Structure 1
Amino acid sequence: MPRVARVRSVVVDCPDPRALARFYAEIVGGEPESEDADWVVLQVPDGPRLAFQRSEGHTPPEWPRSDRNAQQFHLDLDAGATWDEVDQVEKRVLNLGARLLKREEGDEDFRVYADPAGHPFCLCVIPGD
């Protein structure tokens, strides 16, 4: 099917765009660029452009609810080929201010965290061939 448009940005509402952009820059790379205090852009190296916009009265999503104030969106981040590698990334994101929401390693290939503004994101293990 022919493309109608291409994705320019994934935009995240939050109370402090600069702080949240710095949080994600520490995880995925890039340097936050601020047009003003209400809008900050992070160009992820070899990835999408993330934009963070101030939302006064921002209410964080409640994961895993599906009724009221559901997750809204989440990011899946490849964090390593083994759980040992993911463990190392987990330590870093927790030190940066993330909060663990779900850590089960059974059949699942991910762990769920909340960023400092409360948005869920996943650290995923990339199984080897």
Structure 2
Amino acid sequence: MAVARFASIVFDCKDPAELARFWAALVGGEAAVTGEEFVAVRTTRGWIAAMQVPDYRPPTWGDAAVPKQMHIDLSVDDLDQAEAEAVRLGARLVSDQPAPDRYRIFLDPAGHPFCLSIQIPD
């Protein structure tokens, strides 16, 4: 039996409104709770929030100077199409792509890593 239910993912960042807009557009959703230091996006699968942190330093992908701490995997039907849309929305494709035919690694506008992965058949 589960002890808890998923509530949200909260990303530290410099600009919560900008990061919330990115995630709302990428996964579908709308800002439902907004403030200067915190914005929460409601999606059909849960909440993604952005919280302002003083002196925020983004993770350095592939370098341990500032560890990634966590990342999100998102399932897609078409990697090329999803990549183009993610980049259009403000994501940055990282240079090191170990398995670009199966998944692609990006950084969101605040520098958090996430992956777009092809759907695994049921």
Query: Is this a same-fold pair by TM over 0.5?
Result: yes
Tell me how many residue pairs correspond in the alignment.
121
* Aligned residue number for residue 103 of structure 1: 97
Matched AA of 1:55: V
- Residue 44 in structure 1 maps to residue 58 in structure 2: no
CA distance in 2, matches of 1:23, 1:11: 14
Whether contact under 8 Å (1:21, 1:52) holds in the other structure is yes
Deviations 1:52-104 (A, max 9, x none): 10112110001123x43110111111121xxxx21011111111111111334
User: Which runs of 5 or more residues in structure 1 are unaligned?
Assistant: none
Whether contact under 8 Å (1:18, 1:34) holds in the other structure is no
Alpha-carbon deviation of 1:48? Answer: 2.2
Alpha-carbon deviation of 1:28? Answer: 0.4
* Aligned residue number for residue 70 of structure 1: 67
Matched AA of 2:97: R
Does the residue aligned with 1:57 lie in a helix, a strand or coil? coil
- Residue 90 in structure 1 maps to residue 83 in structure 2: yes
RMSD: 1.8
Alpha-carbon deviation of 1:122? Answer: 0.3
* Aligned residue number for residue 57 of structure 1: 55
Whether contact under 8 Å (1:112, 1:123) holds in the other structure is yes
Does the residue aligned with 2:30 lie in a helix, a strand or coil? coil
Identity over aligned pairs, percent: 38
* Aligned residue number for residue 113 of structure 1: 106
CA distance in 2, matches of 1:126, 1:4: 28
Q: How high is the TM-score relative to the length of structure 1?
A: 0.84
Q: How high is the TM-score relative to the length of structure 2?
A: 0.88
CA distance in 2, matches of 1:116, 1:35: 18
Matched AA of 2:71: H
